[in-house]
A and B are shown apart, each in its own frame.
Chain A
C-alpha cells in the first residue's frame, strides 16, 4: 500500500496522462464505430439479406482474438495509436450494429405500416418513429461496445498505442506491482463507470 501511494505521488502526472489517453482512444474508437455501424444498420433496414450478411461478417471479425487483430494490422498500418483505434473499431462494430439492426428491424410491423399509411416523409419516419423506438436496443449495443473498447484498449500499449495498458505492461515486465495495480484498477474503474 505504501509502495502504491509513493508510486502514485511520484508518477501522478504521467498516470493522469495515460488515463486521458486511454479515454481519448476509447471515445474516438466508439464514435467512429457508431458513425459506421448506425448508418449501416439504417441503410440495411429494408435490405434484410444484406443486413444478415453484414451481421455474419461482423461476428466473424469479432471472433478473431484482439491480440491477433493488432498483430495483423502492424504490417498494414504500422504501430501506434492509429492501428489500435482501427482494431478497436473492428471489434466494437458487431455489438453496435447487431443491436441497432435488431432494434430497427423488430419494430412492431403495425406501427411501420401506420407510418407508411399516413404518408410521413422518410426523415420523419426515421427520426421520429424508427430511431426512437429502436433507441433502447441501440443504447444497449453502445454500452456493450464502450465496455469492450475500454477493456481491449489496454492491449493498445502492446503496439505503442499508449493508455493505461502501458502501466500494466510495465508492471508485468519489471515486476512492479504498483504500476500493475494502477493500470489495472484504473482500467477496471473506467469500464465500470462507463457501463453505469
Chain B
C-alpha cells in the first residue's frame, strides 16, 4: 500500500497548517512523521483516513485518491488506528474494544474472539486474563497494547499511530516501541507513526519525515538525517540524539581532513559511521578515505576519537 501526498496544503481560516507537502511512503514501510507540537504532523496523518481533508492537493493510496472513495466508513474499516493513551471505550470490555472493526465488518463472533485472543497473546497480554477486563482495570501500557490489538485486528494494510506512547513512562514506552518494531516485521503492514520525540523517531523509523511549521524539512533514513541534516532546524532538532559524532562526516567540521587530491581514495557514503571507517582500516591500514570532496587519513580517525573523549 503505497501512500502519496501530492502538493498538500491545509488552511484553517487564513492560517496555513500545512504548506506544499509532497511525500511518498512505500509499501510495508515503518514511516515516522516527526516534529515539534503544532507542526502539522497529526493533521497530515489524519488525511490518510480522511479524518481530515486537504484544502488543496491530493492524498493517494495505491494511486486511488482518498477523497474519491465511495464509502468512507467502509474505507476506514480497512485502516488501523492507534490513538494517544489508547482511547479505549470505557463502556466496553477489552475484547469488545479490540474487535470493534471486525464487528463493523460483520465478522462472526467466534472468529472475532479467536483473532483478538491471538493478537492479545502476540502483544504480551494473556488472553484468558484480559479478554473480559474493562479499560479502567488496565495500566497505561496494557491499555495501549490493547489499542494496538484493536488497530491490527482487522488485518489492515495500513496502520496509523498518532503519538501513541507520549503518555507512558519511559520503560513502558521503550517496551512498546520494541513491540511496534516486532509487529511491523511480523505482519508486514505499512505503519505511519507520528511523534514529537526524536529518540522514538530514530528508534522506530525505516524512514522519517521531519515537519516544522507545516513544512516538510527533510525526508530520509535516520542515518541520512543525522549525517546530513538538510537545514539548521533539522540539525538542532536532532542535536541531542548523541549519534552525530559517530558519523565520518562529522570529522570534517572538527577540523580534520584535506581537500581531495584524487589519489588512491576509498569513497565512503555520506552516512558512513566511524565504525565503517575503522573496519575499512582494519582491512587496509593505510587507506585514505574520501567523503564529499574531502579526504581523510588513518591518523585523522585516531586524532578525532582522542579529541571526542569526554565530550560524549
Contacts and interface: CB of A to CB of B under 8 A. Distances in A.
A118 B91 contact: no
Interface of A is mostly: helix
A181 interface: no
Q: Which of A116, A121, A133 has most chain B Cβ within 10 Å?
A: A116
Interface residues of A, number: 17
Given A113-B83, A114-B81, A114-B83, A119 B91 contact: no
Interface string B57-80: 000000000000000111111110
A116 B92 CA distance: 16
A118 B81 contact: yes
A120 interface: yes
A20 interface: no
B76 A118 contact: yes
Contacts of B83: 110, 113-114, 117
Nearest to A110: B87
A128 B81 CA distance: 19
A111 interface: yes
Interface stretch (B5-13, B96-104, B187-195, B253-261): B96-104
A114 B73 contact: no
B51 interface: yes
A118 B51 contact: no
Contacts of A129: 89, 91
B84 interface: yes
B84 A110 contact: yes
A120 B89 CA distance: 13
Interface in B133-163: 150, 160
A111 to B, nearest CB: 6
A45 B229 CA distance: 47
Contact of B51 (A113, A120, A124, A132): A113
B124 interface: no
B288 interface: no
Given A119-B72, A119-B76, A120-B73, A114 B89 contact: yes
A111 B86 CA distance: 10
Given A124-B104, A128-B92, A118 B87 contact: no
A161 B148 CA distance: 60
A114 B76 CA distance: 11
5 A-B pairs closest in CB distance = A119-B76, A119-B77, A117-B81, A119-B73, A132-B91
13 contacts: A113-B51, A116-B51, A117-B81, A118-B76, A119-B73, A119-B74, A119-B77, A119-B78, A119-B101, A128-B89, A128-B92, A129-B89, A132-B91
